[in-house]
Structure 1
Amino acid sequence: MDDKIKYLTQLDYAQKNKSNYYMEVLSSQLIELLEKDISLQDMFQQLHLQNEKIIMNLSIDLTADAVPLHSHSFYEIIFVLDGKVDYLIGSRSYVLQGGDVVIIPPDIPHQPLISESLSNPYKRYSLWIDTSYLEDVLKKYPDAGLALQESNANQKYLIRTHEHISRNLRTHFEAIYHESCELRPGWKLCIATETLNLVVQMGRIYHNNEALEHIGTNDSMMDNIFAYINTHLSEKITLDSVANYFHISKSKISHMFQQQIGISFYQYIIQIRLLSAKTAITQGLSLTEACHRYGFSEYSSFYRLFKKEYGISPKEYFSLQQQLKR
C-alpha cells in the first residue's frame, strides 16, 4: 500500500495545488480502494469521475510496461504531443503520431503497444469525461456529439487532420490543462466550456470530411487475430485453432503477441475476457452469466483470475459498483 500511495503522489498534475485538491476530494474513496488492494490500473475506473465530471492529465511513457490493456466507464480523448507509437483500440491497431486525436468510448479495451524503450517519449494529454455528464449535454444539443457518435458506431477512433486544424484542437487541450493546473476562480466552468467546444470542433471535422481516412490504421494479421478473438470470446480459443484458421504457425502467432504487445497469446485472451466480464458486471449482468458469456468454463477459475488481475473478487467488485452508483 505504501508503494501505491507513493505512486499517487507522483501523478503528473503539473502543480502541487492541483495534486492537493484531488487528493483531498478523493481521499476517502482512494483509501477505501487501496485497502481493498485494487490494482492501480483499475483504480480510477472505479471512481467513475464522481466528484469531477472532467479530468485532464499530462502523461509521458518511455517503456513497454507503462500502460496495460484496460478499459473504463468514461470517455477518454487523447491528444498526442510527441512520440510515435502503435495503439490498440478494440480489435484494431493504429500508428499514432504528434497531432493525432484519439477518441476512446466507454468499455473499449485499449493499450499503447510499446514493445521496447522509446527514443522519443510517448507524450500526450488525456481528457477523461464522465459519460452521464456528456449524455445530459447531448440531450439538449444532439448534433454536438457527432465525433463521439462516429467513434462508437463506425469505430472511427483516430482523428488525423491537417496541421492548422490540429493546432486549433491542441489549443483546447492546452486551455483545459492550464485551467486544471492553476485552479483560478471559475476554473470548473472554463474546463466545461473548453471541453464541450472541443467535442463540437471534433464533430465538425467529421461533418466537413476533414479527417484523413485510414491514415495511421494498421491493416495487419494481428488486427485480424484481435477481431477473431473478440468475436469468439464465449468459445474455447486455442493457439491451435487460431493458427489453423489463419493458416500460419503457432510459433509465428506467439512471436507476434510477445513482440507487439509484450504478453503471451493466452495472457491477452485472459485480459480481454476479464475486461469484457468486468464491463458486463458493471452494466448489471450477474456474475455467473458474465463468467460463462466470456469463456470461463468454471466460476472458480474466473474468480481466481479476476482477483489476481484486479486485486478484488468479482462479488466485491459488483458490491463496489452498487455502492458507487448509490
Structure 2
Amino acid sequence: MKKKLQTAFTTRQYMLSKDFEIYYYNEKYTSKIEMHTHNYYEFYFFIEGDVQIQIENEIYPLKCGDMVIIPPGRRHRAVVEQSNCPYRRFVFWVSREYAGNLMEQSAEYGYLMQQAQVQGKLIYSHDVVEFNTIQYKIFQLIEETQMERYGREARIPLLVSDLILHLNREIYEKEHPVKIKEENLYQNLIYYIEQNLEEDLSLEKLSSVFFVSRYYIAHIFKEQAGISVHQYILKKRMQACREAILGGENISKVYERYGFQDYSSFYRAFRKEYGMSPKEYREEQKVIFK
C-alpha cells in the first residue's frame, strides 16, 4: 500500500494547487537541489537517508523523525549525499491563504507556522511513537487524495486540519508542560467540585484529594477562572439550592444539605446572588410559569 502512495520526485518548487499539496518521496538518490524559496509553508518530515538541510547559511544534520518547517521567503535546500541509502521523506506544502483561513477558524492552527515565521524556530524532533502517529495521519491524507471514494471532497479538508492541529498540539504541549499540568488540575478541580457540592470542599480537603498545597490550588483556580475557589463553590452551591427549591424541596433541608451553617447566612448569600429571598424567588417563578 505504501509503495502505491509514493510520488515520483521532480525538482518543481511551486504549487499546482491553491490550498495544499502532500507527497511521499522514496528514491536512492535525488538530483542536486539549488537554494530556493517558496511563497508557501513547507512541512518537511525526514524518514531515512544521508541528508542535511541548509536553511539560509546554516546546515543541519537530520535524523529519522525530524520535522522542518520552512516559512515563505526562507532560502533552503536539502543536501543529499550520493549513496545507495534510500532517501525517504514527506513534503507537505500549505499556501498562505489556506493557512490564513485555518487561523481565522482558530489561532491554534498557526502556532508552529508563527514560531517559524517570527521566532525562526524551524526544526523539531520526534520519538518513534510520535512519528508513527504522524506518518499514519499523512498516509491517510495521501490515500484519500488518490482515491475516488464517496465523501472524498468533504474528508480531505478534515484530514488536513487534523494533521496540522495534531502537529501544533503535540509541540505546544511539549513546550508548555507546566501550563498543561495546571490546566489539567483546574479541569479536575472543576469536575470534583461539581460532583461533590454536598461534601466538604475546603481548601484543606481539596489539597488532600489532589496532593498539592492549598496555596497552589488557590493560585491555579484564580488564574484559570478569574475568581477564588470559595467564590466558585458558593456560586455552584447557590445554583444547586435554587434548582432544588424550584423543584419543590423544603428550603431548610436544601441549605443544610449544601453546607450553609444557618438560614441567615444562606439568606444573605441567596439574596446577593439572585436579588431576592429564597421564598420570594420561588413565588416569583411560580407566577412566571403559571
- What TM-score, normalized by structure 2, do the two folds share? 0.53
Q: What is the Cα deviation at residue 14 of structure 1? A: 4.3
Equivalence for 1:185: 150
Q: What is the Cα deviation at residue 48 of structure 1? A: 5.9
SS at match of 2:174: coil
Equivalence for 1:8: none
Equivalences for residues 83-122 of structure 1 within 5 A: 83-114=49-80, 116-122=81-87
Taking structure 1 as reference, are residues 204 and 120 closer, same or farther at Cα in structure 2, changes over 3 Å only? Answer: same
Q: What is the Cα deviation at residue 210 of structure 1? A: 5.7
Counterpart code for 2:72: P
Taking structure 1 as reference, are residues 143 and 86 closer, same or farther at Cα in structure 2, changes over 3 Å only? Answer: same
Counterpart code for 1:108: R
Instruction: Confirm or deny: 8 A CA contact 2:32 2:79 kept in the other structure.
Output: no
Instruction: Confirm or deny: 8 A CA contact 1:76 1:129 kept in the other structure.
Output: yes
2:17 aligned to which of 12, 37, 49:
49
SS at match of 1:123: strand
Counterpart code for 2:17: L
Instruction: Confirm or deny: 8 A CA contact 1:74 1:106 kept in the other structure.
Output: yes
Gaps of 5+ in 2: 177-290
Gaps of 5+ in 1: 1-12, 20-39, 212-326
Taking structure 1 as reference, are residues 66 and 192 closer, same or farther at Cα in structure 2, changes over 3 Å only? Answer: farther
Counterpart code for 1:78: Y
Equivalence for 1:149: 114
Instruction: Confirm or deny: 8 A CA contact 2:39 2:72 kept in the other structure.
Output: yes
Cα RMSD (Å) of the superposition?
2.9
Taking structure 1 as reference, are residues 137 and 15 closer, same or farther at Cα in structure 2, changes over 3 Å only? Answer: closer
Equivalence for 2:95: 130
Equivalences for residues 40-79 of structure 1 within 5 A: 41=11, 44-45=13-14, 47=15, 49-50=17-18, 53-63=19-29, 65-79=31-45
Equivalence for 2:170: 205
Counterpart code for 2:87: Y
SS at match of 1:70: coil
Taking structure 1 as reference, are residues 156 and 15 closer, same or farther at Cα in structure 2, changes over 3 Å only? Answer: closer
SS at match of 2:37: coil
Residues 287-308 of structure 1 deviation map (CA, whole Å, 9 limit, x = unaligned): xxxxxxxxxxxxxxxxxxxxxx
Residues 260-308 of structure 1 deviation map (CA, whole Å, 9 limit, x = unaligned): xxxxxxxxxxxxxxxxxxxxxxxxxxxxxxxxxxxxxxxxxxxxxxxxx
Equivalence for 1:302: none
Taking structure 1 as reference, are residues 89 and 97 closer, same or farther at Cα in structure 2, changes over 3 Å only? Answer: same
Aligned residues, how many?
174
Q: What is the Cα deviation at residue 67 of structure 1? A: 2.7
Equivalences for residues 1-326 of structure 1 within 5 A: 14=4, 41=11, 44-45=13-14, 47=15, 49-50=17-18, 53-63=19-29, 65-114=31-80, 116-209=81-174
Equivalence for 1:9: none
SS at match of 1:49: coil
How many angstroms apart in 2 are the aligned matches of 1:66 and 1:192? 33
Taking structure 1 as reference, are residues 210 and 163 closer, same or farther at Cα in structure 2, changes over 3 Å only? Answer: farther
How many angstroms apart in 2 are the aligned matches of 1:120 and 1:58? 16
- What TM-score, normalized by structure 1, do the two folds share? 0.47
Taking structure 1 as reference, are residues 15 and 171 closer, same or farther at Cα in structure 2, changes over 3 Å only? Answer: closer
Tell me: higher relative CO, structure 1 or 2? Use CA pairs within 8 A at least 6 residues apart: 1
Residues 127-183 of structure 1 deviation map (CA, whole Å, 9 limit, x = unaligned): 111210110120120122111111112222112022222221111111111112223
Residues 14-44 of structure 1 deviation map (CA, whole Å, 9 limit, x = unaligned): 479x99xxxxxxxxxxxxxxxxxxxx74x55
| Bigger Rg, which one | 2
Instruction: Confirm or deny: 8 A CA contact 1:147 1:199 kept in the other structure.
Output: no
Counterpart code for 2:43: I
Counterpart code for 1:112: A
Instruction: Confirm or deny: 8 A CA contact 2:54 2:78 kept in the other structure.
Output: yes
